[in-house]
A and B are shown apart, each in its own frame.
Chain A
Amino acid sequence: MHRFTDWFLPAVPAARLAVFRVIIYAFVLIDVFLMSNDVVNHGYKPDFYQPTLLPRLLGLPPVSVWGAHTLQVLLVVFCVLGAIGIAQRIPTVGVAVCFWLWMMYSQGYGYVAHDHMALMFAVLLIPTAGVIAFSDFRPDRRAGWVLRIVQICVVLTYFYSVLMKWIASGSLIRWANGAVFVWAIMRRGSVFIRWTFEYPGLLIAAQWALLIVEILTPVALFVKGRILYAIVIFFCLFHLATYLSLGIHFLPTVVCWAAFLPLERLLPAYRRHTAPEAEVASA
């Protein structure tokens, strides 16, 4: 049991979560204003409202334009205060509530994307770590647990998509030998990728490669150091490629790969910090 809890609730330098919080809250603002910015437009389209289970249980009505702008303002205030670390409890809970509401309204009008799971659980769980200072390098299991759950969500985003391929297609072999990439490229492919139409065999090979990579993603939860960094870089490059070829950036998941990194080393105070515990828990 101890081995499991040491892995599931790892003692990492508390400052690691403080830096992760900055990254997440900065990205939430980018997301709300530039990516999942459909909520204001949804305010004009109440007849398209198809709420998912949670907003139905909460009895949430269709978003209004005024309501969408209010959420944006609140998220700016809470994200800035939460990232800086001012009166942390209220802004971190505020980000969690407002961002979940935002996403309920972003994804409640027909199409439901699956690139937000890790980000939504990051904002939901950050408040559970309590008050954290950028100068606190003591090992902390609450912070470690938040980061571990985000890591698991990132991995499941890929690994469970394999499960879904198996369920939806009846067979992984059928999926990998099929025309999913042809279908995707034909619908939304850019000039960088349309040349592959001439080589359907290459696209089938790429489907097998993607399937194998997705099956192997849990490895990221059990490796450290350069192997882990290589995995993170690989996925960042993979998503850059899907963005250039299909316009699919997957950034809400990409940003959560930061949960795998020893982010406290970005802090100037880390270099001045010489206590051994930070070394023990790093990476």
Chain B
Amino acid sequence: MKTGSPLGPWAIGWRIIAPVAALAVLTTGQFLKTNDYFPLGSLSQYSTARDLNGQVKTAYLLARFPGSDEDVNLSLNLRVVGIERGDVESQLGNIIADPSMLQTIADGYARLHPGEPQPTHLTLCRSITQLKNGVETGEPEHIVLAEWQVR
């Protein structure tokens, strides 16, 4: 295979057939709304319409440290706890069913913050903000999704 040499029928054929097959998978991925075919899965980010009078829900993590009665917000990102908020929000059902998964997040914090005070208790929460005509109304509601006593 030399640069500039002409392409034979086989070389042209697979270069057409393979992309057509990939496009078929990508198209199927959209209609099935699945990320399973990654990198040919659903291009779903921001694809779901949001109601102008609906709710905006956001997951966040609270941590209690030794000697304090107040919970502090721990940002859900790679730098702070070693995992992104998107990964946590994608697995909310699993975490609610098995709050021990929060121990993994506590372990991530410990690894990324050696020598610093470690949380004794984690609370995974959700804030819910009500919209009216696309404008937020009042204070957000906060609910607890899962709690974990750090080991």
Which A residues are closer than 8 A to B by beta carbons?
Answer: 5, 8-9, 14, 37-38, 41-42, 44-45, 47-48, 50, 52-54, 103-104, 107, 109-114, 116-117, 120-121, 130-133, 136, 138-143, 145, 149, 152, 156-157, 160-161, 163-165, 167-171, 174-175, 177-180, 182-184, 186-187, 197-198, 200, 203-204
Contacts and interface: CB of A to CB of B under 8 A. Distances in A.
Interface of B: 1-4, 6-7, 11-12, 15-16, 19, 22-23, 26-27, 30-31, 33, 35-52, 54, 56, 58, 78, 82-84, 86-91, 101, 104, 107-108, 111, 129, 131, 133-136
B35 A112 contact: yes
Given A133-B3, A142-B7, A187-B58, A179 B131 contact: yes
Contacts of B129: 186
Query: Dominant SS at the A interface?
Result: helix
B82 A45 contact: yes
Given A138-B4, A179-B50, A52 B36 contact: yes
A110 B35 CA distance: 10
A187 B126 CA distance: 12
Contact of B47 (A116, A121, A157, A169): A169
A112 B56 CA distance: 21
B15 A52 contact: no
Contacts of B87: 38, 48, 109-111
Contacts, number: 183
B4 A139 contact: yes
Given A14-B3, A38-B84, A161-B47, A167 B30 contact: yes
List the 6 shortest-distance A-B pairs measured between CB atoms, nearest first: A200-B134, A111-B86, A110-B90, A169-B49, A110-B87, A112-B35
